[in-house]
Structure formats: C-alpha cells, structure tokens
Amino acid sequence: MKPSTFFAGILSLAMGASAVELKKQVVVTYESNTPDWVISEAKEAIINAGGIITHEYNLIKGFAATAGEKVLASVQTMGSKYQALVEEDKVVSVE
C-alpha cells in the first residue's frame, strides 16, 4: 500500500468522525397553556433526527431526551407562541 493511499484513508476517517454530532441529555419544558400537538411535534423532530425521548412528564408539560444540539436548537425556535425551555439534564442537590 502506498503511503499516500494510507494517509488519504486516515484523513477520510478523521473527517467522517468529526461530522458526528454529539448528543446531550436535556429536559424540555413548556408553559401549562401549550397545546399537546406542539409538544408532539417537538418529540417527533427529536426522534426523526436520531434522538431518543427518555421520559415523558405528567405533572408538567415536557419531556426528557437525548439529542443533538442542532435539533434542540430547532425545537427551541419551532413555535413563536409556545417557546420551549431546553435545559441540560443534571443532578441538582440542596446542601
């Protein structure tokens, strides 16, 4: 194998690896007057982008998900009237 062919292969692997979008664990919430169809559209967008809905909340309007930053930014700007609040899912403690 020629060295130039080997390096071309390594370069293409590196470029392909950099194209992979990192996924974040988030909680997406909406105000209580948000229609269910808005939330369903947001969940569908996340699933269609390769994300996963990890939990659906009953007491508040929202859900937890693992998704890429691009689709999360899209979900935040989907509705002009019903804005989504997207926050990183993390442990909160009170000392």
> pLDDT digits over 18-36, tens only?
467 789 999 999 999 999 9
Domain boundaries, the chain: 21-88
Q: What is the pLDDT of residue 67?
A: 97
Q: Give the span between the Cα atoms of 36 and 62, in whole angstroms.
A: 10
Fold of 21-88: Alpha-Beta Plaits (3.30.70)
Give the closest residue to 57 by CA, choosing from 78, 26, 82.
26
Q: What's the N-to-C CA distance of the chain in angstroms? A: 61
Q: What is the pTM of this model?
A: 0.74
Q: What is the pLDDT of residue 80?
A: 78
Instruction: Give me the residues of the chain with pLDDT under 70, please.
Output: 1-19
Q: Give the span between the Cα atoms of 80 and 38, in whole angstroms.
A: 11
Q: What is the pLDDT of residue 95?
A: 82
Give the closest residue to 82 by CA, choosing from 42, 53, 50, 52.
42
